[in-house]
Amino acid sequence: MRRMVGKLPDATERLTWGHPTFRIRNKIFASFHEQDGKPAITVKQTKAQQETLCGDERFFVPSYVGKHGWVGIFVDDVEWDFVAELVEQAYRMTAPKTLVRELDEA
């Protein structure tokens, strides 16, 4: 997760609520935590993307932020390239346009 986020312009990590959160200019776009005793990642997504993904048992609607479209991902059986795409999408939804352009140019 840290390697994925490290490639995103100005993205930072901060420990919040006892687990790592990943931010762009103080806005959270992803986090790493436990869900039902299993390691999981939570990423910002659209409601449509949430509905599509959460039909698969590897994905879930997280507490608190799920009502806004966020998606939880159990990390014990994931395709990391796909997770990297979701993390980048979450970043793009959160980051200012100038940073998204910088990412596109990189």
pLDDT bucket at 92, cuts 50 / 70 / 90: very high
| 57: three-class secondary structure by DSSP | coil
* Dihedral angle computed from the Cα positions of residues 35, 40, 46 and 49, in that order, rounded to the nearest 10 degrees: -100
Rounded to 5 degrees, φ, ψ at 74 are -75, 130
pLDDT bucket at 32, cuts 50 / 70 / 90: very high
Q: What is the mean pLDDT of residues 6-32?
A: 96
Task: Give a yes or no: residue 8 inside a domain.
Answer: yes
Q: What is the mean pLDDT of residues 33-47?
A: 94
Task: Give a yes or no: residue 35 inside a domain.
Answer: yes
Decide: 71 and 50 in contact? Cβ < 8 Å.
Answer: yes
**pLDDT (tens digit per residue) in 68-89:** 999 999 998 889 999 999 999 9
Q: What is the CATH number of the domain that holds 49?
A: 3.90.1150.30
Task: Give a yes or no: residue 105 inside a domain.
Answer: no
Domain count, the chain: 1
**pTM recorded for the entire structure:** 0.92
Domain that holds residue 31: 2-98
Task: Give a yes or no: residue 104 inside a domain.
Answer: no
